[in-house]
Amino acid sequence: MTSSKVTVSSVSGTPDASRRIRRIVDKLARHKKLNIEASRQALRDAIKHANDMHALGFLHYAGVLDLHLPDGTTVAIIPDWHIPAHDRQVTFMVKQWLSDLRPDIIILIGDAADMFGLSRWPKPPRVVANTQSELDETRRIIDDIIECSGCMHVFYILGNHEDRGRRTQIDPNSNVASLIDPSTQEPILNFHFLMGYKPGDPITFIYGAFEDGGFGGGILINGEIKFIHGNKVRPKPGASPYAEADAAGKSIGQGHTHRYAKRARRNTKSGLIRSYEFGFLGDERHPYLGYAFNTNWHQGVATGRVHGDLLHIEMHPVKKIKDKLTGQISSLMLAGSKLYQSSGY
């Protein structure tokens, strides 16, 4: 295994904080050759330190976070979960996968919370939406995956659904959105504040450059692949991230469309450009997702591993199978040579 220099860049903290982070990550690069656990701890310390110094912001970052990960880093990529309209059986399976994978980092690429209660869409009759319980359940599941995976950090890229809170504030009077909480010096009712995490917790919320969700924020890994929630929506699987990659001139991994595809092409200027859309983990039978007809939606997750300074990605589509005897439908997923199967319904 080769080892590359590790940096956590795009820091907006003090020059002193930047120097200290660089020293820690340089130390990590040396450790990586010696001891995986020591390097995991060093990366954890580097991220925590960056958060403590507000270099990544108070639990949040606005814009595209430039993150350089060392060879050997394992990343779990989880698309649109839409909690509490998530597929419960598939979620159980995903937790088993995370327990086996033991990723260093988890990337949630937006819409992990559905925020149906704050949407402007007409609500179907008898559908009750409680925003606080939606947030509570999202928090509970994120806490679960941090614990069961043993990961050192979650990067939560906000999607258009998390942005519903901000849009709700702007709607009656845009001035409400600019009110500052005196204790945190941050806009009131921002998403990470509502989720109740504190500085030093192993999570960073990635907003768009204007503190909005969904459009503009993301993570650039090793200068090559950008993870975003996504904005462009094309009807054919693979076409949306292809269009995003064209616009960015970089490889793209995205959610948002709920479609599942990967494509690659060679560009004389930038070499290989990859584009991925990772699907979703929602339950199409849930009334919150009642608009999901003939949309080419597909469930899935993905594993990434850094090698040769490049994040290699393996996608794990979820297939539905029907038991011939009982007629029950269960979900199947192949990851790391292991077949995961959910209970049926």
Q: Which residues bind Fe ion (CB under 5 A)?
A: 80, 111
104 vs 162, beta carbon nearer Fe ion: 162
46 vs 94, beta carbon nearer Fe ion: 94
- The distance of closest approach from Cβ of residue 182 to Fe ion in the complex, given in angstroms and rounded to an integer, is 34
99 vs 295, beta carbon nearer Fe ion: 295
80 vs 244, beta carbon nearer Fe ion: 80
- Strand 271-278 and strand 338-341: pairing? unpaired
Locate the DSSP E strands across 33-135. Answer: 60-62, 64-67, 74-78, 105-108
The answer to whether 343 and 331 are in contact (CB under 8 A) is: no
- The distance of closest approach from Cβ of residue 157 to Fe ion in the complex, given in angstroms and rounded to an integer, is 12
CA 201 – CA 207 distance, rounded (Å): 17
- The distance of closest approach from Cβ of residue 106 to Fe ion in the complex, given in angstroms and rounded to an integer, is 17
CA 282 – CA 297 distance, rounded (Å): 10
CA 214 – CA 195 distance, rounded (Å): 17
- The distance of closest approach from Cβ of residue 116 to Fe ion in the complex, given in angstroms and rounded to an integer, is 12
- The distance of closest approach from Cβ of residue 163 to Fe ion in the complex, given in angstroms and rounded to an integer, is 12
Residue 309 phi, psi dihedral angles, 5° rounding: 70, 10
CA-based nearest residue to 304, from 239, 215, 225: 225
- In one letter, which amino acid is 29? A
96 vs 131, beta carbon nearer Fe ion: 131
